[in-house]
Structure 1
Amino acid sequence: MITFFRNIFSSKIGLFLTMCFVALIAIAFASADVTGSGAFGGVTGSGTAATVGDSKLTTSELNQSVNNAFRAEQRENTGLDLKTYVEGGGFDSILDRLVNSFVIADFGNKYGMTAGKRLVDGEIASIPSFQGADGQFSEENFRRALQQQGIKEQQLRDDFTRNLLADQLLPVAGFGASVPQKLVTPYASLLLEARQGQVAIIPSAAFVENVKPADAALAAFYSKNGSRYTIPERRSISYALFSKERFNETVKPTDKEIEGQYNLDKAKYAASETRNIDQVILPTEAAAKALADKVGGGMSISAAAESVGLSSAEMGSVSKTELAGTTSQAVANAVFSAPSGDVTEPAQSALGWHIAKINDIRTVPAQSLEQVRAQIVAELSRDKIDEALAELTVKMEDELAAGSSLADVAEAEELKIESTPMLLANGQNPQDPNYRPIPEMQRILPVAFQLDDDSDPQVVEIIPGQQYAIMAVSEIAVAAPPPLNSIKDLVARDYILEQGSQKAKVVADNIVKQVSDGTSLSKAMADAKVRLPAIETVKSTRAELARQSQQGNVPPPLTLMFSMAEGTAKSLKAPQNQGWFVVNLNNIDRGDASERADLLSATSGQFKQVFGNEYTEQFINAMKADVGVEKNEDALTALRNQLTGRTR
């Protein structure tokens, strides 16, 4: 029930629409951080993980998708390792999502639904990592990203095609779901339910003995709880930075190039004249002449236009060519032959007859080559430097792909190689809490943590079109707990707390028993003969619990209190062996939402979403039955074992 209301307030009820590759592609390509299928060692070939209708999900695709999702999760939880992720349901979740996406696509194809190439192109072009500095799709960035990550273009297009077919099929399944009011009212009322109780803490520290633990006991404790102290995978990275500034003094345009650019843009530097005008367009020449006479007689052009039910338009400063292009050559000739302050003779365009008031005339004399040389040099230098930088990155990529080392390329280009200490994926140094990586590591680290230990060095874009790095992984330390002696004090503290927690549990269970037998919580605490913290009175509603849950800060005792029967007591272990809670629920105040139209409407809306999701899930199950799904359990077991490091 708690979970249901948490979902109502967070509006994240298990929607099956999230099942396919959409999330995986977003994970893969956001911020240019995609993972290749070889990031975790050998891929289980291209065997078949599952057959869906006429399509096959390969073990290679499944392996790649699991690795992508794991890396994304690991960025949020740096202590996570692949084995824990797979065994915690990550593998099965990704498999189900992929199978569902294949099912939807195969079903759509079977019944004549399509996602055209142009639609797929639009989806691909919208991915930020495939765009250039101008925000437009960049073929170069697209090819580079696919090559770096070992992803084939057709694979990406197939992914998007499946997504687009899902967008067409799934929304209709849950559309128009309705919910009986008799079902809505009890659940809406629960949101108004209030509970009052007491919470006591039995701290482990109250039972700690001031005795040094035996080495054998510590070793046994450490062996049993080694995962608690595991340091996530760390990597040392060698890198060399370079930017477009390296070409500032070496890349200069020649006199011939400067002169050629000047001649190419000669019209740009020729003498020019612009005129600031207000104009009125009339239906006949006679009407235009009459209006021109009014303006010539001293009336403003705007007032004259208003007198005949029209309005004047401010054209601003325009050249003769621009004006001719928007009106006609006759209008442009009339405007540019009249002196400043005058009204033009009527001239015709496709829109009617124009008269214009000349507000201002500005002339710009022709500019010689010497006058604009500095401007041309700056423009040509910028373009040549951009070209030189692009050529350099391509050259480096080719050399690294051909087997050149990071040191070879850096020496040839006179770059200084730097190295980091052993870092976590988030840039932290476990050996030095004060260590701060250089800002460029935000772009380098995601790429570095996708590479195998034998991968080629990579060229990494730091600032698009401006700064790059060549980098290689120097050393990899797999996730593992450190030697006991290096953290002996920490392990000893945890061991002592666990021993105290075990004793605290005995006391907490005894207090719960006494309260269940009718003793007050305060008396049961006093009878424990141990100095304990004061009892805290707690009162809350389910709605408040749901709001706190959405924010991720619900105290565990409060969650427990809303799952208990009135007049009962229960114990709950505190995090990190800090002790035990005793929760005593004294009173439940039932809510009544029958008169709360707002709450009933909101709850009904959320139920419709739940029902719609259920219909969608059942629709997917029906599609599975229609197209047929067959999983290759042997291949799945082999891949699961490979990812977790098992031998069988």
Structure 2
Amino acid sequence: MLQTIRENSQGIIAKVIVGLIIVTFALFGVESLIGLANSEKAPAEVNGKEISNIELQRETELQRRQILSQMGEDADPAAIDEVGLRRSVLDNLINREILLQSAEGQGLYVSDQIIDQLLVADPGFQGADGRFDRNQFEATLRSVGLTPLMYRDQLRKALLMAQERNAYSLSAFATPVQAERLAKLAAQTRDVDWVRFSLEDELAQVEVGQDQLQARYDENPQRFMTTEQVVLSYIELNQADFVNPDAVSESDVRSAYEQELARFQAAEERQAAHILFEFGEGSEADIQALAESVRERIQAGELSFADAAAEYSADVGSAGNGGELGFNGRGIFAGPFEDTLFAMQAGELSEPVRTEFGYHLIQLTEVRETAAPTFEERLPVLKAELAAAEAEAGYVEALDRLADLSFSAADLQVPAEELELEIKQTAPFAQTGGDTALTSNPKVLRAAFSNDLLNEQLNSAPIELSREHAVVIRVHEKIPARQQSLDEVKSILVAELKQEQAVEGLKERAEALVENLSAGEALTDLDSSLVWSSAEAVTRDAGSMPLELNRAAFELARPEENKSILEAVELNGGDYAVLRVRAVHDPEQVDEQLTQQLQKSLDMRQAETAFRARVQDLNAAAEVERN
């Protein structure tokens, strides 16, 4: 065969083909041939620049991870709408590319030095000593699927886009007159009255006739179609049912205890006190000199350590207690502090030790080592641990057995008998879920309404509700959708019609009262059972009246020539009220601090409005092609 290939490769055609391949490699590289087999259009182009598939996939995966982390321990990846997620991520990438091109087109620039400073200062990339840790930096990025170069590029792009946004936020402004006017409006007060009509009282007076019920039912009978429902039979495995501490032998417990003793290492703990000379207004040299001076006075007997802590220590948590920190092991204190503490002898007073907080004087008072726990102390704990470990093994074995039995059985009877499990039933529920944790579980819902269970009458595979709980389900009864009769939905229609008629009746009463009061009639003459509730000099969002009335009171026009302004207002819960604004009081002076706060708020709003308009213009002008 090899000889045949060699002979055929000597021909003119073969040499021409090889020559063309060589030329292609030389001019375009090997990617030119690989690309022919793997050519795939970019998901989108923005002004001629492609958004790559790799970028889209990476951002989609990041978004998916965030969604799953928000779902918690029982997150189900199948619950994520992949199509919608991909579309949303692509839209975000397009918008980001438009903003990035705008920033680059204006010559904005971010230096490598600025990026380096931001990385070094990021607490997420710092080690226990508070300094930049390269290993932690790379590990953090790997956890989200990024390389250092990729992250630097993302950071650079984010800073570029932020520069353009900041240009708007730092240049937009509102005038002091606007802020002062807004402050006056905020401090304005109003004198108001209101009278309230109760929906509950109105409902008690409304009656619904049979003709009304029939007419409402006939309007749209389809709304009273039930949804398809199922009743499930199920058996469940719980790991907790396999836990049996009494079955654990003492020899097993003693063996586990001996293993613990072999691994046990006495942990040294040290009792210490300290005085913190905190970095503050003075220079670091002055603070260090003060610490050395206090140390000399303590050693000379002029001052006790406890008195020095009370007078000089900036650690408010320990200063009043002689600087006492109690017994502590390693891993509690900052590096230099801990290194010094565990190098000292009992009774020794340290030289000033510098940490990020300031200088410390440390006094070591006692050293002790933790003793190994006795067998009697560890017996109940080890017994529970061994029982839990055996239960897990038994649960896993039973789960495998359950999977085999439920797959081959025609119903749940065989697996239930083999594993000594009880067959249980649910109440009917629809595809939207039931009232219990089982019937509202997304995994159970998908299985229950799948073709295999709903139409083929099969058992489900074991559904793991958690790491320690699984069920096998089967459709016991399928309840098809049907049209409900008028008698079945009568209570719903009665409540619905009464609500509508009561609300409409209240509205008519309130509007009629507004009309009559506006014509100059008195409330007592119109209805002696109604009484005004009054509030003087009400502020915005005052708690002395319903929120809806307060809001409406400040939306109404200013009364003119001592003529009140009236309006009917619907309240939360369906009640109605008639509101009367009698007077408006403007403040003579406004709070300067409030004016300044409003000035900043107006500046931010102006900036946001201007930048939003800029983004809309960029999006309108951009040539975006989605593939």
- TM-score, normalising length from structure 1? 0.48
Greater RCO structure (CA 8 Å; 6+ sep): 1
